[in-house]
Amino acid sequence: MTSISEKASILHRAARNQTPVAQFSLSENYNLESAYQVQHELIQLRQEEGFPIVGIKMGFTSHAKMKQMGVNDMIIGQLTSDMQLSKSQPLVKADCCHPRAEPEIAFRLSEDIDKPLNAQEVMNYIDGVAAAIEVIDSRYENFKFSLEDVVADNCSSCAFMVGQWCDVPLGLNGLDMIMSFDGLSEAEGSSDAILDNPFEALAAATRLAHLYNIQLSKGMIVLAGASTAASFINKTSTINLEIDGLGRTLFTIV
């Protein structure tokens, strides 16, 4: 049985050395509560390296993602500054274990949120929406995990790129999302795949953040979760995401 702190330091080392480890759940039982405690300690280690929290991410908000990973519950993870790719900054593949890309929608918080809100209410707490690509990279061997394992591993968070912020539209339904690898369509989805309405993902984020003591502060970025299954980044050198009415974002891989 490994302690909370041991799990956090094993996962932190796995990420920093690009060496996946065995899932904890194969050798012991632990619950979601402890898994979130591991996540908090893991994020603490990143902060001690000088990387503050810049946002949060939702996971498994679409059927495509749940089916791909064999889980059926939503999860929340935390994004630190070292994960955010700035404009024209490439993703360094050698810094990852087995990265995958996901087409997402990002929100920017215009105020602190300290209570659970519904999909109507959250619209008053954001001042920007953008196309975003998330790079996930499980620190577990073969990208396999239980719900507790993936929560402990900060929901496989690795890197993300956010496009130009747009004004908040009244609705985010029916937007085509097309992710291309080197100019060829790799994954096509609709914003409807994200809980039938991406604002629902933001509402779910306020609930989970409240439940697991994660702060939502003004200026933070919230990733709503992928609308399609994730795609392995193998020999790809450019990833582009185009969303109807929200513009595009892209980055290169070196």
Q: How far is the CB of 226 from Mg ion (least distance, A)?
A: 5
Show the binding pattern over residues 199-228: x = contacts ligand OOG (CB under 6 A), - = does not: --------------------------xx--
Going by the DSSP 8-state scheme, the letter that residue 98 receives in this structure is S
Provide the phi-psi class of 221: left if phi over 0, else alpha when psi is between -120 and 50, else beta. beta
Query: Which residue, 55, 37, 193, 59, is CA-closest to 138?
Result: 59
Among 21, 35, 43, 69, interactor with ligand OOG by CB under 6 A = 69
Binding ligand OOG by CB under 6 A: which of 45, 150, 179, 204? 150
Options 38, 93, 100, 134; binder of Mg ion; rule CB under 5 A = 134
Choose the contact partner of 65 out of Mg ion, ligand OOG, none; CB within 5 to 8 A by kind: ligand OOG
Query: Which tokens is 3 given?
Result: 């302690």
149 makes contact with Mg ion (CB under 5 A): no
Q: Cα–chain-centroid distance for residue 98?
A: 15
Q: Does 65 bind ligand OOG (CB under 6 A)?
A: yes
State yes or no: residue 35 binds ligand OOG (CB under 6 A): no
Q: Cα(124)–Cα(105) distance, rounded to whole angstroms?
A: 17
By the 8 A CB rule, do 241 and 249 touch?
Answer: yes
Closer to ligand OOG by Cβ: residue 44 or 232: 232
Would you say 85 and 250 are in contact if contact means Cβ atoms under 8 Å apart?
A: no
| Contact positions vs Mg ion (CB under 5 A) | 102, 134, 226
